Structure 1
Amino acid sequence: MPPDTMTSRFPRSSPYWPVVSHPLLRRVLPGLAVSALGDGMALVAVTWLALQLAPEGQRGTWTAVAVAAYTLPSAAGTIVFGRLLAGRSGAQLAGWDAVLRAGALAAIPAAHLAGALSIGLYVALLATSSLLHSWGSAGRFTLIAELLPERDHLPANAVLAILGQAATIVGPPLAGILTGATGAVWVIALDALTFAVLALTYRLAVPGGTRAEPTEAAPSRTAGFGVIRHHRALRGLLALTFGFFLLFGPFYVAMPVVVTEELHGSATNLGLYYTAFGAGSLLGGLATGYVRRWPLWPTTIGIVVGFGVAMLPLGLDVPVGLSLPAFALAGLLWAPYTSTSMALFQRSTTTARLPQALAAYSAVIVLAVPLGTMLGGPLTTGMGARHTLLLCAAATVVLGVVAAGLAGLRSRQRPDRGAAVGLWSGGG
């Protein structure tokens, strides 16, 4: 076959082609990319501005509070706005989240210009900006389920993940440059502008009120938790994800200690590990679409086991030449997890109930990494940083093996083979 023929066929043969060529999604993706970059820059700007605003001697405490305020209130927002937002389309949910983020974040530079920005007001505005975050995340994945057939859900989820992973590589260094040139408050202003662009994108690109199915009347505030509670596979997925993210949390405490105290490295060395993980994650995200024909449950559980195995060298006394590639491999394995777990949700419940279930799922999962990070403090102090990493890696492997055993046991208990195959392919 001539090379030019193969070249012309390649884009259309890619699993990502139905996603990027979709008449509605291709208009939304640029807005998502812009807002992802804004969030990548916020990783630096949020903490830096907290350091500048906090009183002397309280900077560590207020910085931690500011970081938590930028994410954790979304758990409360899932319940508080449950009745109001149930039954809305994916584009509406994601768009309203973008509007709230844009408005609350824009109020920070406005308060700064007015001379009224205090650390307390700053934290309050960050918390306000995150109230609809779980609903916004649910809206993005619901929009995919509304617009695309099931076979394209995993590649579409992967596209969202790739945008986020690329932003975490590009955003922080760009934020560092802009912060040095203009100040952290103006980087947050730029973040607000990116969310305004995203809100406008949803408003103009996706027809309002588009839903595949009607929703139930007058749902409760906790309807999403009810969907998960009555679905055994989703309960198992929630438990697996919570444990997986919880065990990753101590890394943020133990890894810097290992690099500085045991490897006698610098911040540059620590950054090299982060870069390796980020590069691996980007490659893993790009590869995710090509495993769409793999059975979802075994793939999701296999990611957990493989990630734990890849993290083991960090807890062992091995040379950097081995631990650094292992950490890059861990990033590669980590990347597809969100895409496969979201695909399991998209296949396991109706489009009408999907936003509520995903918002409830996000509300629980958003607590996992912070709790794990808090756990990492006493573990690192009591056991040592390297032993903490080894314990978490080994526990992750055990978690995956137990999940595989339970899933296999359930499939054998199914009265017919078709049901068992449905479980392992991602069905309920």
Structure 2
Amino acid sequence: MFSSPGRVLPEAWRPLFAVRPFRRLLPVFALSDLGDGMSAVAVAWLALSLAPDGREGALVGISVAAYTLPGAFGALALGRWLRPLPAQRLLVADAALRALLLGAIPIAYLAGVLGPTGYVLLLGASSLFHAWGRAGKYALFAPFLDDGLRLAANSLLSASLSSATVLGPALAGLLAGTVSPAWIIGLDAVTFAVLAVQAGRVALPAAATGPTEAAGADGARQGLRVLRHHPELLGLLVLTWLFNLAYGPVEVALPLFVLHSLNDGAGLLGVYWAVFGLGAVVGALGAAAAGRLPLWPTVIAIVAGHGLGLLPFAVAHTAVPSLIGFAAAGAIYGPYSALSLALLQNRTPSGSLTTVLAARSAVLITAAPLGAALGALLLNRVAAPALLSGCGLAMILTAALAAVVHGCHALRRRRRDITLADPAPGATSADRPV
């Protein structure tokens, strides 16, 4: 006999399925995550096929950056129009725009008019609302979930994304042997169309249907002001930005590593992303346990461990060491998103949550694309294996710097506490802190 879903699911996730809006939207979130997982292979592989000879690395880097970077502009410049919208409308607007413009890519390819410039423009325009859509996705459920369920929801959404990183690239790798990657991007567009329709139909509690907070440049500054009053959150944002920056060149260098260093094709590229995602699923399942550990040592260890997982790319004559390392990197990274988002949701004033999440997205969305652009430039000077292992070294150095800064801050705080607890000799009782 088959087990019931409630028994199959981890205990921490079961209460979420009693929340009807979450239960109805999770399948379409998972579907759009699957589409993005396929695009992790298709966007880069289509860029390789469209690039002029000798410019493959540059176009891959620009395409990967275009798929995400304009979202930062949208978060900062479009607030006048997006400010009145509730989280649900933001999610629908982002999904609908992605469906429309990503869907234009296979149509242009079929018509024979898709060139490098048009491809980059369509990718860039499709991401304009993405910071707001992502903020809306995570802010949608926060008003009617308590603190414990928020961590569980973040963990489940991260596990869904990681699962799609297993299935999506593997599926794209299989399809790339029979159809153009343009059609795979078209499938991604279909998943976003389904998300837009279903998210627009779901009825939400009144607490989740109010307008979002101020956005745009003023809203982003407001969100950053909130973060400045919470040094722990600001420090986590800086560390995450540097982590994502160091990761950015990986998405550019990995296709070229497979194509030139291993002399293989899209199928093996899909395998790389699949093992990374499989590791991330395993790691995401441990997010609840990781949440009981001290925050800063945990996130610093995740950054350093992820970097260690990239070092085997220096062995370029065979895929096995780098596949093992990439899977380990995914497993180590797994809990990171759930931990950082839960901390933001729990420590941010409720009236500023969407603004802070949008500001966070606006900041973080620049990191990986800038890293990708930097990777495209570096590939003119260094080989893909050296760049991939160099990304790992950069993460290890970032973790070491974060550990030093955190240690100095903890030491200053300890000295301050000792001073407050033990006033100087001769101080009266009136001088003692109360």
What letter matches 2:76 in structure 1? I
Matching of residue 17 in structure 1 with residue 14 in structure 2: yes
| Residue 94 (structure 2) aligns with | 97
Give matches, 1:271-290, under 5 Å.
273-290=272-289
Q: 1:185 to 1:216 in 2, by over 3 A?
A: closer
- What does residue 338 of structure 1 align with? 337
Is residue 2:209 matched to residue 1:232?
no
Q: CA RMSD in A?
A: 4.0
Distance 1:364-1:153 versus aligned 2 partners, 3 A rule: same
| Greater alpha carbon shift after TM alignment, 385-394 vs 78-87 | 385-394
Deviation larger for 382-391 or 349-358 = 382-391
Alignment partner, residue 298 of structure 1: 297
SS at match of 1:353: helix
Amino acid at match of 2:339: T
The percentage of counterpart residues that share the same residue type is 42
Answer whether contact 2:66 2:369 (CA < 8 A) is retained: no
Find 1:82's aligned residue among 64, 79, 83: 79
| Candidates 39, 42, 45, aligned match of 1:42 | 39
Which aligned pairs between 1:268-417 and structure 2 lie closer than 5 A?
Answer: 273-312=272-311, 314=313, 324-376=323-375, 391-411=390-410, 413-414=412-413
Instruction: Quote how far apart the aligned CAs of 1:16 are.
Output: 1.3
In the superposition, relative to structure 1, how do residues 295 and 213 fare at CA in structure 2: closer, same or farther (>3 Å)? farther
- How many residues are matched? 413
Give how far 1:73 is off: 0.7
Distance in 1, matches of 2:62 and 2:213, equals 38
Q: Quote the Cα distance in structure 1 between the aligned partners of 2:279 and 2:200.
A: 34
Shift of residue 283, structure 1, vs aligned partner: 1.1
Q: State the alpha-carbon separation in 2 of the partners of residues 341 and 8 from structure 1.
A: 28
Q: Deviations over 1:122-164 (max 9, x none)?
A: 4333222110111111111112322311112222112112222
* 8 Å contact from structure 2 (residues 44, 255) kept in 1: no
Give, in whole Å, the separation in 1 of the partners of 2:312 and 2:280: 18
The CA deviation string for residues 319-356 of structure 1, in whole angstroms up to 9 with x for no partner, is 98766544322211112111111112112212332222
Residue identity in the other structure for 1:361: R
Change (3 A) 1:20 1:318: farther
Pairwise CA distance, 1:74 = 0.4
Structure 1 distance, partners of 2:281, 2:356, is 27
Indicate which of 147, 150, 161 corresponds to 2:158.
161
Q: Deviations over 1:232-289 (max 9, x none)?
A: 2222112101111222334456667777888x67557776554433321121122223
**CA positional deviation for 1:409:** 4.1
The aligned residue for residue 241 of structure 1 is 240
Task: Please list, as runs of the form range in 1=range in 2, the aligned pairs for 1:109-124 lying within 5 A after superposition.
Answer: 109=106, 119-124=116-121
Cα deviation digits, residues 26-67 of structure 1 (max 9, x gap): 011011011111222223443455556666776665454333
- Structure 1 residues 201 and 253, CA, compared in 2 at 3 Å: closer, same or farther? closer
2:307 partner amino acid: G
Does structure 1 residue 125 correspond to structure 2 residue 117? Answer: no
Matched, 1:65 2:62: yes
Give per-residue Cα distances to partners, 1:284-317, cap 9 Å, x unaligned.
1222234343343432223123333444555589
Question: Which of 140-149 and 290-299 deviates more?
Answer: 290-299
Rounded to whole Å, the distance in 2 between the matches of 1:401 and 1:257 is 29
In structure 1, list runs of 5 or more residues that go unmatched.
418-428
Alpha-carbon spacing, 1:217–1:56, altered in 2? closer, same or farther (3 Å): closer
